[in-house]
Homo-oligomer: A and B are copies of this chain.
Amino acid sequence: MWYIMAKKFTVGVIGAGRIGKIHIENLLRKIADANLKIVADVNINDKLRIWAEEKGVLKLTSDVNEIFIDPEIEIVVICSPTDTHAKFIQEAAKAKKHVFCEKPIDTDIKRIKETLSVVKKTGIKLMVGFNRRFDRNFMRCYESVASGQIGEPQIIKITSRDPAPPPIEYIKVSGGIFLDMTIHDWDMARFQAGSEVDEVYATGAVLIDPEIGKAGDIDTAVAVLKFKNGAIGMIDNTRQAVYGYDQRVEVFGSKGCVVADNEATNTVRIYTAECTNIDKIPYFFLERYMESYSAELKRFFECLSKNIEPKPNGEDGLQNVLVALAAQKSYEENRPVKISEIEK
């Protein structure tokens, strides 16, 4: 009797921080096609070493080049800090390795374009980690829209609220709410609309913490998007929803409307003499989106196996940053801004 085993892809991971660890565990346990060979991280300490050993990481190195020069490695998963993404993508591409890179590619348009040009020239596949597309609810929403069930999408509404603001130190280097937080929502809006953004009007306020204002940022933001296909998008963000991580998507179309609500902590309702109680929604993105991380990697490996272009790809990475920068300009100048203004 014979058992044919599927081709496995040998993988190197760069960066073993919070998000890196998630990808490493998924590669080890949930992606049957993955053969994780090397994990590179510039900060290796005993704690990381023990974690890696327990999880079954074969090789841990502080030298990222071991990944690029290893001829067995076909895929590089980049989870290092944002300012290294462009460099590592380019190096991986030049070494003819496919790349899964955490978002964003970069925050500088010129640098993103230069990186995408290298990607194109080398013919490798690049997927960017906008994991929310793979959330079962938002994916189901997308399927409904893409299948034509609700007709032409006309209004896309995204509610995206964090349970608590990050530390001020983080805010200061985050690039601003539109690049740091709304970036996921630009991507979700484009994903659901099935079209690119033509113009954005964004505004906001400091309503949560004056320190965020002092750091030059806002903590509450809303935006109106005009898509090239005529649809209109609406996004609202806040850094602090005390009741939990509020993540909803709604697409209204000519034949109906599809609404993806928050995941519940459980299905229990408690009826008392005062009211009906339902537990709070799950607290943060690790709880809400955990499954989406393995789903996006599975999809990436499937794209490689079947030789199809992964989505979201480099172009998505670029477009999302373009919209973010337009939103920032719109907020600063209090006027709608065309994406073409930024692109130039």
Residues of A within 8 A of B (CB): 1, 3, 29, 46-47, 50, 56, 136-137, 140-141, 144, 149-152, 154-155, 157, 159, 161, 201, 203-205, 207-208, 220, 222, 224, 226, 230-232, 234, 236, 238, 240-244, 246, 252, 254-281, 334-336
The 10 closest A-B pairs by CB, nearest first: A243-B271, A256-B272, A276-B278, A261-B267, A242-B273, A140-B268, A257-B271, A140-B266, A137-B266, A154-B207
Copies in the complex: 4
Q: Is the interface of A mostly helix, strand, loop or mixed?
A: mixed
Known contacts A205-B230, A267-B262: does B257 contact A246 (CB below 8 Å)? yes
Please indicate the chain B residues that have their CB under 8 angstroms from the CB of A256 in the complex. Answer: 242-243, 270-273
Say yes or no: A204 contacts B232, CB within 8 Å.
Answer: yes
Say yes or no: B270 contacts A144, CB within 8 Å.
Answer: yes
Please indicate the chain B residues that have their CB under 8 angstroms from the CB of A276 in the complex. Answer: 243, 277-281
Say yes or no: A277 contacts B275, CB within 8 Å.
Answer: yes
Taking the closest CB of chain B, its distance from the CB of A15, in whole angstroms, is: 22
Taking the closest CB of chain B, its distance from the CB of A270, in whole angstroms, is: 5
A335 to B238, CA, bound (A): 24
Please indicate the chain B residues that have their CB under 8 angstroms from the CB of A246 in the complex. Answer: 257, 271
